[in-house]
Structures are given as structure tokens and as C-alpha cells.
Amino acid sequence: MAKTWSLMIHGGAGELDLVRKHIDAQPYLESLQIILEYGQKILRRGGTALDAVEMCASMLEDNPLFNAGRGAVLNEAGKVELDAAIMDGKSLNAGAVAGITRIANPVQLARLVLVKSKHVLLIGNGALRFAKQHGSKTVSECYFITDKRLEEYNKLHTTMRIKENQKHGTIGAVAMDKRGNLAAATSTGGLVCKSQGRVGDTPIIGAGLYADNKTCAVSTTGHGEMFMCTVLAKHIADLIAFKKLDAASAAKQGINYLKRKVNGRGGVIVIDKYGRCSARFNTRTMVHGWIERSGEIHCKIK
Ligand code: GLY
């Protein structure tokens, strides 16, 4: 068994204007700290990377500060449609759901798809049916809608003049456990006022996340279409596989590639197979935290 483990989480890349809009960073940093402490408990006692990323992503989904689960952004019809995925770096098995409603923790449904389904991605009503067949509880659609999101929707949907800096937000977690197994999870409400039925990068394996014990675990955040067209998470894993880069160089080159190829904006968190952690983003902020090789907890917003 490897002696160390690592854990990283993010609460979305974007343009939180901390100074001009008087946004208080403290609730974000405190939330990251608490979630990392929970993940730390799992990994310290020898729990799996998959369990750690599922737990951390679920806690981020439960927290209305973040654009996933409760507190997700609303689409053009004022409803939530949620996407999530989880991937096991040992087996390369993955589970994903897209365009779902009424499931409080989409990442847990993605894990159920990974474990219980012969498919990788289930969408909409089919995903909901699958959830019910396996005993998942459903919640009212109102559960997801917070005052902040309603206000944002009411302001934006009449004009549909949505700035690039209002589009970002996702949550994610990556981990390496004591056995050296890697895992990644990502979850989102997508883009504010998105078209009904729009699916972004989050549930797309290789775009929104990737995990392979031979290279790394990656979770991405940002304008999903750009991450889909560059298959960014797999691109970063390939940089490690073929150019023998470490997590930091691969994350840096990945974000440069995103910018150069499609003028994309967003961020990534990466843990490589040695447990080295790296976060890279080309937005003003990315809420993120990490524990590298069983060390100290670090939380940052930019
Ligand atoms: N990255 C989240 C989305 O575009 O849906």
C-alpha cells in the first residue's frame, strides 16, 4: 500500500469580483476546509479514492454557494437540469448522468450508473427511471432553486445578455488513495439560462473529467463547449502519458492549449499518479483546495 494519499476539490472557475462586488471569500474558504476535512477522514483510514471524490462532490452539491445540486443555475425555462460524472482510474469504468431533475446528488446517481448499469451515460427521464428502480430518493424541483439563482435568472433571462464571466461554475473532486488508485468526479447545473436540453462537458468522459491510474485524475470547470471541443481532461492525461509531464506542467500546458485552440476559459485540478497536486485557471478566480501527499489543507480562491 502506498504511504500517502492526495485530494483536491474545486467549486468552479469564474470571475468572482471580490473587491468591486464586495463578495465575501470566507464562506467559500470555510466550505472548502470542511469538505476537505471529510475527504481527509476517508483517505486517512484507507478508504477509496472513488468514495472520497463522491463524498466531496456530494457535499459541494449540497452547498448552495456552488453551481451544482442545490443552488445550481437555472436554464432558459427557469428550471434546473443537472449533469454529473464519476470515473475510476483503476478500471477506467465511468458513470454519468445528464439533463436530470429531482435527484439531490447527481454524482451519487452517476456512481450508481458506474456500479449497476452496463452503460456509461444516462439522460433525462431514463436516468430518473433508473434512479427510482435502484431506490434513489427524489426531491421536489423547488429543492434546487435558491433566492440567489432566482434573482440571477429574473435579471438575465429577459435580456439574455449573459456575459462570459456569468457563465462559469461547476464543482469537482480528484483523489489518490493509499493504494495509488485515482478517481475523479464533476457535477454542475451548467450555464445560466442555457437552452433546455443543453449538455456541457461535465458528464462527458475525457472533457469534464478523466482518471487513469497510469497518468492522473482531472476535473475541469469553465465554458463547457470549449472543453468538449478540446477533450481537455484526456488531453491533460495524454500530456502526462506521452510527454512525461508532472501534474503542474500538464495542467499549465492544458490551459494554454484551451486558450490557444478555442479561446476557452476555465480551470482544471489535477493529481498525477505520484500524488502531486496542481490547479491552473485563466479566469479571475477558481475556488479550490487540496491536500498533497497526506500534508496540510490549503484553500484558495485565486
Ligand atoms: N463546465 C460546465 C458546463 O459548461 O456545463
Burial of 4 (0-12, 13-18, 19+ CB in 10 A): middle
Q: What are the cell numbers at 224?
A: 463547457
Pocket test for ligand 1, best of 191, 230, 258, 269 (most atoms within 8 A of CB): 191
Catalytic residue among 170, 221, 283, 285: 170
Q: Is 191 in the pocket of ligand 1 (CB under 6 A)?
A: yes
Distance CA 25, CA 126 (A): 39
Handedness of CA 264, 147, 188, 42 (dihedral sign): positive
**17 pLDDT above the threshold of 90:** no
Distance CA 188, CA 172 (A): 9
**57 pLDDT above the threshold of 70:** yes
At 130-187, the pLDDT tens digits run 999 999 999 999 999 999 999 989 888 877 666 655 556 799 999 999 999 999 999 9
Compute the average pLDDT of residues 241-262.
Answer: 98
Mean pLDDT of the chain: 94
Pocket test for ligand 1, best of 187, 194, 202, 268 (most atoms within 8 A of CB): 202
Domain 6-300 has CATH 3.40.50.920: no
Using alpha carbons, select from 36, 39, 28 the residue that is nearest to residue 63. 28
Q: Is 187 in the pocket of ligand 1 (CB under 6 A)?
A: no
**199 pLDDT above the threshold of 60:** yes
Tell me, yes or no, if 220 is annotated catalytic.
Answer: no
Handedness of CA 260, 262, 265, 267 (dihedral sign): negative
Distance CA 240, CA 250 (A): 6
Residue ranges covered by each domain of the chain? 6-300
